[in-house]
Chains A and B, each alone.
Chain A
């Protein structure tokens, strides 16, 4: 039986042997794990041998798109990759706004691509419908993200979908990422290094097979309702104009309008938020960047690059190398402190580190990207530095979780003081500190608690869970009025549902979806009749599978780190009372999370009963 929405095939590429083949998608698998994120994770879980090092040929990368990707349901373009990442060494989801890539992959006839082995020489994987080739990367190797994309589009035309790495990925910088068409990042934690270790410079896709839905009439009804709501949304134009700047207006609007060259959207997205930015004056005039958002300029500015034009240039350099700016600035700043504290001799650094100087940042970005001198150590991330300098370095380290910098926090590169789901989520996402999966009504919105139930119902949380999350609703509020740990459970489940279907999880998009709409969309597209309760149960199954994939690698509660420095001044604050969060408060939230999940509170491991209930025995 052919289901709607799914392309129906999995492409398997072995870079060691050069063999490419495809297999039909197991629809039982799709039914059990929904698609996209869920099916990719299950495919990875079944083929990977536990314990394999992240940068070894034995660590596969499984790419996937959900059944809604390629349709015109709003903002259904997400692309996921499942692999073991080198920074956290965990089995991780990596996701990105799919730009053209997801739609093109589906149109080429594939839901998933499994990439195994390691090529002897640098290659580009070309997937144009049934024509699958492993091409010599030639002089693409050594090029930055921007140049690689431009040249590939010159050769193959638009809209070719492209995932590529920059030189940082080639050199296996531990915090290198992959980029989708230069505008969306994918795989903070080292997906770039994983692809680089396989000598895979880029994946290019183009397709013309078409995607059919199971029930056109029912599909159109769901779609048209969604589009009508979006059209009537009073802030639509504002979101379209400002993108993420709408929720974090840190930058003067007149300057933003001056530098904004074009807004880009992923396929099917009515509220695109990718920015093309151009410096219009000064010595850096003419610099153009594609960015996941203008708000990326916050990080270099927080670290001291006060001139916005220098911040743009800095983002341009790091994005082109394909490096995660949070980690880059984190390790650079840490190294600077170690030099000042006498742990590292200044002559070892050769060039002075000044994080507030574009010239210095550029020198060090090159040193790290190309592993020159001390840059080679920094390219190994916090763990490499701590392994080298040990106890002498540790007191000077910033807050670290699983070897990475949690980027939202009172002193983080994305400064934020309220302790909501995204903040706790940095400890509880198996991939390490990443906030993408832990979005909830708490984030940035500062909503009053009485507005939460509506959003929680939207996210598929059952009524009894809402009572546990908001135990004293209607009574005077105290620090226990919002159970962040319990709420995070449903944030993760909601993300898991959206990711498995292929819907963007960003707040400005997912606010238009609810669990019922998702189940209706899924049913009409695939033909698999699914209630919202079944949808959310399958989403929960996917998140539990992610946990047990990591339990199998030796992870447990001990790794759900709450860094000591989170509880020093300036501390996080309680969402409701604004009182400082203590370690005991945060530990209680962790336990609430495990309890809500049905996991062992002592170990953080899913219980046998829970796994049996979810069909994951």
Chain B
């Protein structure tokens, strides 16, 4: 599996949770935001996007983001 760096632009996030839905379905077989490895919290004033320790940076969350709040960048070799 390719690994990516995931760039986040929280100011573009709408809180649609498509990323959490896709992530949880791939890794648990069920749509369950609480089990997702990406965590999104949106309020009127701010948005935070973070990843749990077991995130593999597979990029499925990016594939499902429609708002450009998540972007893939191939990991640079050291």
Whether A208 sits at the interface, judged by CB under 8 Å, is yes
- Beyond A159-B15, A268-B17, A272-B14, whether A70 also contacts B31 by CB under 8 A is yes
Give the docked Cα–Cα distance between A266 and B31 (Å). 15
Most chain A beta-carbon neighbours within 10 Å: one of B31, B33, B34: B31
- Beyond A107-B32, A107-B33, whether A240 also contacts B66 by CB under 8 A is yes
- Beyond A71-B21, A158-B41, whether A210 also contacts B35 by CB under 8 A is yes
Give the docked Cα–Cα distance between A103 and B18 (Å). 11
Which residue of chain B is the closest to A273 with respect to CB atoms? B14
Asked whether A265 lies within 8 Å of B44 as measured between CB atoms, the reply is no
Whether B22 sits at the interface, judged by CB under 8 Å, is yes
- Beyond A72-B25, A230-B66, whether A264 also contacts B31 by CB under 8 A is no
Give the docked Cα–Cα distance between A236 and B41 (Å). 24
Whether A270 sits at the interface, judged by CB under 8 Å, is yes
Whether B43 sits at the interface, judged by CB under 8 Å, is yes
Number of interface residues of B (CB under 8 A): 27
Most chain B beta-carbon neighbours within 10 Å: one of A209, A216, A262, A272: A262
- Beyond A72-B21, A263-B14, whether A270 also contacts B66 by CB under 8 A is yes
Whether B67 sits at the interface, judged by CB under 8 Å, is yes
Name B42's contact: one of A103, A209, A264 (CB within 8 Å). A264
- Beyond A264-B14, A270-B18, whether A210 also contacts B28 by CB under 8 A is yes
Asked whether B17 lies within 8 Å of A267 as measured between CB atoms, the reply is yes
Residues of A within 8 A of B45 (CB): 261, 288
Asked whether B44 lies within 8 Å of A276 as measured between CB atoms, the reply is yes
Give the docked Cα–Cα distance between A328 and B27 (Å). 49
Asked whether B35 lies within 8 Å of A266 as measured between CB atoms, the reply is no
Interface footprint category on A? 35 or more
Residues of A within 8 A of B41 (CB): 158-159
Whether A153 sits at the interface, judged by CB under 8 Å, is yes
- Beyond A72-B18, A159-B17, A268-B21, whether A153 also contacts B32 by CB under 8 A is no
Asked whether A261 lies within 8 Å of B44 as measured between CB atoms, the reply is yes
Whether A573 sits at the interface, judged by CB under 8 Å, is no
In angstroms, how far is the closest chain A Cβ from the Cβ of B34? 4
Residues of B within 8 A of A267 (CB): 16-17, 21, 33
In angstroms, how far is the closest chain B Cβ from the Cβ of A208? 4
Provide 23 A-B residue pairs closer than 8 Å at the C-beta atoms, listed in order of the A residue: A72-B64, A100-B15, A103-B33, A153-B43, A158-B42, A158-B43, A159-B17, A159-B33, A159-B42, A208-B35, A212-B29, A212-B30, A261-B44, A263-B14, A263-B67, A267-B16, A267-B21, A268-B16, A268-B18, A268-B21, A270-B18, A270-B66, A288-B45
Residues of B within 8 A of A71 (CB): 21, 31
Asked whether A265 lies within 8 Å of B35 as measured between CB atoms, the reply is no
In angstroms, how far is the closest chain B Cβ from the Cβ of A205? 12
Whether A10 sits at the interface, judged by CB under 8 Å, is no
- Excluding A216-B29, A268-B21, 13 further A-B contacts by CB distance (< 8 Å) are A103-B31, A103-B33, A153-B43, A158-B43, A159-B33, A240-B67, A261-B44, A262-B14, A263-B14, A265-B67, A266-B16, A267-B17, A270-B16
Give the docked Cα–Cα distance between A234 and B28 (Å). 34
In angstroms, how far is the closest chain A Cβ from the Cβ of B21? 4
Residues of B within 8 A of A230 (CB): 66
Give the docked Cα–Cα distance between A268 and B64 (Å). 10
Residues of A within 8 A of B21 (CB): 70-72, 267-268
* Binary interface encoding of chain B residues 43-54 relative to chain A, with 1 for a CB under 8 A from any of its CBs, else 0: 111010000000
Give the docked Cα–Cα distance between A158 and B15 (Å). 11
Closest 6 pairs (CB-CB, A-B): A210-B30, A210-B32, A270-B66, A265-B16, A265-B14, A72-B21
Residues of B that sit less than 8 Å from A by CB = 11, 14-18, 21-22, 24-25, 28-35, 41-45, 47, 64, 66-67
Give the docked Cα–Cα distance between A211 and B35 (Å). 11
In angstroms, how far is the closest chain A Cβ from the Cβ of B40? 8
* Binary interface encoding of chain A residues 204-229 relative to chain B, with 1 for a CB under 8 A from any of its CBs, else 0: 00011111100010000000000100
* Binary interface encoding of chain A residues 81-116 relative to chain B, with 1 for a CB under 8 A from any of its CBs, else 0: 000000000000000000010010001000000000
Give the docked Cα–Cα distance between A28 and B15 (Å). 35
Give the docked Cα–Cα distance between A271 and B67 (Å). 9
Most chain B beta-carbon neighbours within 10 Å: one of A210, A240, A263: A210
Name A262's contact: one of B17, B30, B35, B44 (CB within 8 Å). B44
Residues of A within 8 A of B30 (CB): 209-212
Give the docked Cα–Cα distance between A159 and B33 (Å). 9
Give the docked Cα–Cα distance between A262 and B9 (Å). 13
Chain A 190-214 interface residues, beta-carbon cutoff 8 Å to B? 207-212
Asked whether B66 lies within 8 Å of A211 as measured between CB atoms, the reply is no
Give the docked Cα–Cα distance between A22 and B68 (Å). 41
Asked whether A208 lies within 8 Å of B14 as measured between CB atoms, the reply is no
Which residue of chain B is the closest to A75 with respect to CB atoms? B16
- Beyond A107-B32, A210-B31, A211-B30, whether A264 also contacts B15 by CB under 8 A is yes
In angstroms, how far is the closest chain A Cβ from the Cβ of B68? 9
Whether A353 sits at the interface, judged by CB under 8 Å, is no
Asked whether A269 lies within 8 Å of B32 as measured between CB atoms, the reply is no
Give the docked Cα–Cα distance between A352 and B44 (Å). 36
Give the docked Cα–Cα distance between A261 and B45 (Å). 8
Which residue of chain A is the closest to B11 with respect to CB atoms? A262
Name B32's contact: one of A209, A231, A261, A263 (CB within 8 Å). A209
Residues of B within 8 A of A288 (CB): 44-45
